[in-house]
Amino acid sequence: MDKPIMAKATAVWLVDNTTISFKQVADFCGLHELEVQGIADGEVAQGVKGFDPIANNQLTQDEIDKAQASPSHKLKLKFNAAAVGEEKRRGPRYTPLSKRQDRPNSILWLVKFHPELTDGQIAKLVGTTKPTIQSIRERTHWNIQAMEPIDPVALGLCKQSELDAAVQKAAKKREAEGAAMTDDERRKLLSTEQSLIAEPEPKIPTAIEGLETFTLGRDDDNKPAEKPVDAESLFNLPDTDEDEEEEDGDKA
């Protein structure tokens, strides 16, 4: 926790019971300096009862004495082992009502394009349950026929950095287990930053490559002599026997 609980009430107590500067109180409580000055003038937080940070295990008297002796001293919140990790999100991710109908499509996208992700990772990314993921994997979901895979990042269900982190974690776990991966799977496991700096893949030669020139005899070095193809010559085809017969008939 970076800021004290009941910050405004704590600021009221510090203004009323100490000689700490307004800036020190503002920095500690996460308020603006003018707001703390308004508390001192009685214009802000009227009727708010002060919250003692010493009695509530947020500050020590020694810390307050140091701040009163030195205006440049910054108050430090007292370490509370019970508060460690409280700022972290617990439970499944909250999904707005407007986006919940798109969640199965995002699960289908993750299952299709990132099969290395575990059900727990997918549940954490898009805020769903493992039975729902399992039904989509097994294609037993009630609406599976109408579902289309959609990128959860495009839907706003998770951040690209979160997806990249989950994919990289799955890649390391798979390598540790010694599972063989194809080139296509390795490309899928690349993060956005890695894919941007990766070298372009070699082009596969097409059937039309090499038809731009054709060989006519050999040059002085006994190498095939190449001459550009004239596009018009491709359409000036020689007359066939049928054309000659038609011409003879016309003359007769």
Q: 214 pLDDT band (50/70/90 cuts)?
A: very low
More confident: 14 or 95: 14
Are the CB atoms for 191 and 164 separated by under 8 Å? yes
36 or 235, higher pLDDT:
36
pLDDT, the chain, mean? 75
Same domain, 159 and 193: yes
Number of domains in the chain: 2
For residue 4, is pLDDT > 90?
no
Same domain, 14 and 76: yes
Tens of pLDDT, residue by residue over 238-251, are 555 555 555 555 55
Q: Are residues 176 and 112 part of one domain?
A: yes
Per-residue pLDDT, 213: 46
Condensed to tens digits (0 to 9), the pLDDT of residues 131-171 reads: 999 999 999 999 999 999 999 888 888 888 888 889 888 88
Average pLDDT of the residues in 50-73: 88
Angle between helices 7-17 and 33-41 (to 10 degrees): 60
Host domain of residue 192: 97-197
Tokens for 54? 């010493």
- Considering the domain architecture, whether residues 182 and 146 belong to the same structural domain is answered as yes
Shared domain check, 103 and 184: yes
**Residue of higher predicted confidence among 175 and 140:** 140
**Same domain flag for 31 and 120:** no
Q: Has residue 210 been placed in a domain?
A: no
d(CA 16, CA 165): 48
Asked if residue 55 belongs to a domain, the reply is yes
Q: Based on the domain organization, do 27 and 107 belong to the same domain?
A: no
pLDDT of residue 121: 92
Q: Is 71 domain-assigned?
A: yes
* 217 in a structural domain: no
Distance, CA of 209 to CA of 130 (rounded, Å): 50
Task: Give the model's confidence band at 92: pLDDT under 50 very low, under 70 low, under 90 confident, else very high.
Answer: low
The radius of gyration computed from the CA coordinates of the chain, to the nearest angstrom, equals: 37
E strands along the chain, which residues? 213-218, 224-228
Q: Per the domain annotation, does 134 fall within a domain?
A: yes
Q: Taking 80 as the threshold, does the pLDDT of residue 83 lie above it? A: no
Look at residue 72 and tell me if it is in a domain.
Answer: yes
pLDDT exceeds cutoff 70 at 98: no
d(CA 123, CA 134): 11
User: Final residue of a domain: which of 83, 109, 137?
Assistant: 83
Q: What is the mean pLDDT of residues 81-96?
A: 54
Report the distance separating Cα 20 and Cα 64, nearest Å. 8
Residues 189 and 122 reside in one and the same domain: yes
Per-residue model confidence as pLDDT tens digits over 106-118? 999 999 999 889 9
Alpha helices in 43-178 (DSSP H): 61-69, 103-113, 119-126, 130-137, 152-155, 160-176
Report yes or no: 126 and 110 within 8 Å, Cβ to Cβ. yes
**Mean pLDDT in residue range 196-204:** 56
3-state helix, strand, coil in the chain (%, to 5): 50, 5, 45
Phi, psi for 213 (deg, rounded to 5): -130, 155
251 occurs within a structural domain: no
| 71/105 same-domain check | no
Q: Which of 148, 176, 197 is the last residue of a domain?
A: 197
Same domain for 69 and 111?
A: no
- 168 and 192 share one domain: yes
Measure the CA–CA gap between 38 and 15, rounded to whole angstroms.
10
Q: Is the pLDDT of residue 187 over 90?
A: no
Residue 208 falls inside a structural domain: no
Least confident of 198-202, 209-213, 224-228: 209-213
Range scoring the smallest mean pLDDT among 56-60, 69-73, 78-82: 78-82
* Dist. CA 81–CA 98, nearest whole Å: 38
Of 83, 117, 146, the domain-final residue: 83
